[in-house]
Structure formats: C-alpha cells, structure tokens
Amino acid sequence: METSSLDVNGIEVFVCDLLADFIEVQPAEIARDADIFEVYQIESLQLVEMITALESKFGKRLDFDDFREARTAKEISQRVLIAGS
C-alpha cells in the first residue's frame, strides 16, 4: 500500500487485525472506539510491536510518544494517517 493512497478505514482495519492477533480473537470482535488498554488489556510492549508493524506496513516513521495518548483503534489510525513519512 502506498502512503499516498492511505485512508483511515484501511488503517483501522489493519490496527484491528493487529489487536485481534495480540488478544487472540477475530478482528470483527474489536471495537474501533474501545479503549485498547482497558478493554483489551494491551500493554506498552504490544503498543511498540504495533507501531513497528504499522511502520513496516505503511512505510512511515512513527514516534512512540505520539501514540502514548492514543486509546482507540480510531485514534491510532488518525496518528498514522497524519504522521510524516
């Protein structure tokens, strides 16, 4: 996927797939607006792994500090979309 063709929905789908892998559920079970730390018990190491996977998938350099405040798949996706390449 090219950076120029990124859209929030496509990023959200990928984020939900990653979350589903982490907690071993089907991606359809991930609510895009749920707090990933409270609802899905995502830990900071998993967030780092997610950021690394997002960098690889979308070809963007992402700063961990920009994602610390992101609590949902939607918020994470928005940060990926606006991040520099």
Q: Could you give phi then psi for residue 17, rounded to 5 degrees?
A: -60, -45
- Please report the pLDDT score of residue 4 as a whole number: 40
Q: Are 80 and 11 a contacting pair, CB within 8 Å?
A: yes
For the chain of 85 residues, list the mean pLDDT of each consecutive stretch of 10: 64 94 94 95 92 93 89 94 79
Token code pair at residue 54: 């997002």
- Please report the pLDDT score of residue 55 as a whole number: 94
* pTM summary value: 0.84
- Please report the pLDDT score of residue 85 as a whole number: 53
| Domain 3-82 fold | 1.10.1200
> Whole-angstrom Cα distance, residue 80 to residue 70?
11
Domain spans in the chain, listed from the N-terminal domain onward: 3-82
